[in-house]
Structure 1
Amino acid sequence: MLLDPRLLVLLAAGSLTTMAGGVVAPVLPEMVQQLHLNPAFAGNLVSMHCLTIALFSPPLGILADRIGRLRVLIPSLILYALFGTAGALMHELVPLLVVRGLLGAASGGIAAASLGLLGSLYEGEARSQALGYATSTLTITGIAFPLLGGWVGSTHWQFAFYLYGLGLPLALLAGLILKDNQPLQAKAMGTDSGSKLKSILGHPHTLRLLLTLGLASVSMYAVVIYAPLYLKATIQASA
Structure 2
Amino acid sequence: MESRWATVTLVTKLDKLAIRSDSNSRRWMGLVAISLSVAMIIVDSTIVNVAIPSIVKDLGITSTEVQWIQESYTLVFASFLLVFGAVADNIGRRRLLILGVVVFAVASVAAAFADSGAWLIGARLIQGLGGAAILPASLSLINSTFTGRERGIAFAIWGSTIGGMAAVGPLLGGWLTTSFSWRWAFGINIPIAIVIVVGVAVFVRESKSALPTRIDGGGAVLSVIAAGTLVFALIEGRTDGWWFAKDAPSIGALEWPFILSPIVFALLISASTIAGFVIRTIRRAAASKPTLIAPELFRIPSFRNGTTVAAIVSLGEFGIILALPLWLQNVLGYTALETGVVLLALALGSFGASGLASATVDRITPITSVRMGIVLEIIGLGALGLVISTDTPWWAIVIPLAVYGFGIGLATAQITNVALAGVPVGRSGQASGTQSTARQFGSALGIALLGTLLFTVLQLDLERRLDGVPGSDAIVSAVVGSAGTAMPELSIRFPDAADEARAALALATSWTAYAAAGFLAAGLLSTIKLRADSPTDRSRHTEIEHPVADAAASDS
Structure 2 residue 220 is matched with structure 1 residue 196: no
The structural deviation recorded for 1:34 is 1.8
Count of matched residue positions in the alignment of Structure 1 and Structure 2: 228
SS in 1 for 2:294: helix
Match for residue 198 of structure 2? 172
Change (3 A) 1:181 1:40: closer
Q: Which amino acid in structure 2 is aligned with residue 161 of structure 1?
A: F
For structure 1, list consecutive stretches of 5 or more residues without a partner in the other structure: none
Q: TM (normalized to structure 1)?
A: 0.82
5 Å-filtered alignment, 1:1-239, equals 4-154=28-178, 155-165=180-190, 166-182=192-208, 184-185=210-211, 187=212, 192-196=290-294, 210=438, 212-218=442-448, 233-235=486-488
CA distance in 2: counterparts of 1:230 and 1:197, whole angstroms: 43
Distance between the aligned counterparts of 1:158 and 1:176, measured in 2? Answer: 30
Task: Quote the offset at 1:168 in angstroms.
Answer: 2.3
Q: Measure the CA separation in 2 of the matches of 1:114 and 1:235.
A: 43
Structure 2 length-normalised TM: 0.37
Structure showing greater relative contact order (alpha-carbon pairs closer than 8 Å, 6 or more residues apart): 1
* 8 Å Cα contact 1:77-1:106 kept in structure 2: yes
Q: Is the 8 A contact 1:20 1:49 kept in 2?
A: no
Query: How much has 1:193 moved relative to structure 2?
Result: 4.5
Gaps (5+ residues) in structure 2? 1-24, 216-288, 299-303, 313-437, 455-478, 490-556
Assess, with a 3 A threshold, how the Cα gap between structure 1 residues 5 and 212 changes in structure 2: closer, same or farther: closer
The verdict on how the C-alpha distance between 1:12 and 1:197 changes in structure 2, with shifts beyond 3 A counting, is farther
Alpha carbons of 1:65 and 1:181: their partners in 2 closer, same or farther (altered >3 Å)? closer
Which structure shows the bigger proportion of residues in helix conformation? 1
Change (3 A) 1:62 1:212: closer
Deviation at 1:128, TM superposition (A): 3.0
Map Cα deviations across residues 59-85 of structure 1 (whole Å, 9 max, x no partner): 111111011111111111111111012
Q: State how far apart, in whole Å, the 2-side matches of 1:146 and 1:54 are.
A: 21
Query: The residue matched to 1:194 in structure 2 has which SS?
Result: coil
Distance verdict in 2 for CA 1:151–1:2, change over 3 Å? farther
> Which one-letter code corresponds to 2:188 in the other structure?
L
Shift of 1:39: 2.2
- How far apart, in 2, do the equivalents of 1:184 and 1:74 lie? 20
Quote the offset at 1:129 in angstroms.
2.9
Distance in 2, matches of 1:220 and 1:177, equals: 41
Following superposition, the deviation at residue 220 of structure 1 comes to 6.7
- Tell me the CA shift for residue 137 of structure 1: 1.0
Deviation at 1:214, TM superposition (A): 2.5
Structure 1 residue 42: Cα displacement = 0.5
**Do the aligned partners of residues 33 and 221 (structure 1) sit closer, same or farther apart at CA in structure 2, a change above 3 Å counting?**
farther
Residue 292 of structure 2 aligns with an amino acid whose one-letter code is: G
Question: How has the CA–CA distance of structure 1 residues 48 and 221 changed in structure 2, closer, same or farther, with 3 Å as cutoff?
Answer: farther
Q: Cα 1:42–1:51, aligned 2, differ >3 Å: closer, same or farther?
A: same
Q: For 2:448, give the aligned amino acid.
A: V
Displacement of 1:230: 5.2
Work out whether residues 85 and 163 of structure 1, in 8 Å CA contact, stay in contact via their aligned partners in 2. Answer: no
Change (3 A) 1:11 1:33: same
Q: Which has the larger radius of gyration?
A: 2
